A and B are shown apart, each in its own frame.
Chain A
Amino acid sequence: DGGITQSPKYLFRKEGQNVTLSCEQNLNHDAMYWYRQDPGQGLRLIYYSQIVNDFQKGDIAEGYSVSREKKESFPLTVTSAQKNPTAFYLCASSQEGARTEAFFGQGTRLTVV
């Protein structure tokens, strides 16, 4: 089946560690996105990529990094510089263009312990 796969579903991080969240899509979409979800704040855009080997910062990119070496993959690294990383992280993909909808993965819940 076509779709977006995020892994792991749950992730625990110690203070000072970097962790990487995986996102893979087989929808042949050009654009991919990472959103952060906190209670009562909706979804906020972290990074997005419209084409392989290119990506742009979203609204809350500080403390995060990404790569886009393959069309299907858009991993997100939460670095130790991110002061409050506990959140639900959602990856999405879409065709380019303002009238196209995005498809979302099941999310990764990251908790700092």
Chain B
Amino acid sequence: GNSVTQMEGPVTLSEEAFLTINCTYTATGYPSLFWYVQYPGEGLQLLLKATKADDKGSNKGFEATYRKETTSFHLEKGSVQVSDSAVYFCALTNTGTASKLTFGTGTRLQVTL
């Protein structure tokens, strides 16, 4: 079946530090990969996505590249801000399971001044 594994948090960084949140997946076929962000007390918002191998998704300074050879989709940002503090979820959908999302457990990011 499909599964997503994320690095455990919390991740604590100083403002302007470099961010990496690791995500690896298990899936047969050709999954699409997503990063969602959740701010306290709110629902999830799509941050970025990639639908085929070697695609790079990017948004608001965040980037992730779909690496089929390593089954990974690591999230990166060159310089984090306090406003980036949130929980980040890696997720996938797959052919055969249509638009159902399989989520990782989430990684909490805390950015301090």
Show the binding face of A for B, using Cβ within 8 Å.
4, 6, 31, 33, 40-43, 45, 48, 50, 58, 90, 92, 94-107
Contact = CB atoms under 8 A, between A and B. Distances in A.
B97 interface: yes
Interface stretch (B12-20, B40-48, B70-78): B40-48
A99 B31 CA distance: 8
Interface of B: 30-32, 34, 36, 41-46, 49, 51, 89, 93-95, 97-101, 103-106
A107 B101 contact: no
Contacts of A94: 99
A42 B106 contact: yes
B98 A101 contact: no
A98 B103 contact: no
Nearest to A102: B101
A107 B43 contact: yes
B97 A90 contact: no
Given A41-B105, A42-B106, A43-B89, A100 B43 contact: no
B46 A101 contact: yes
Contacts of A31: 98-99
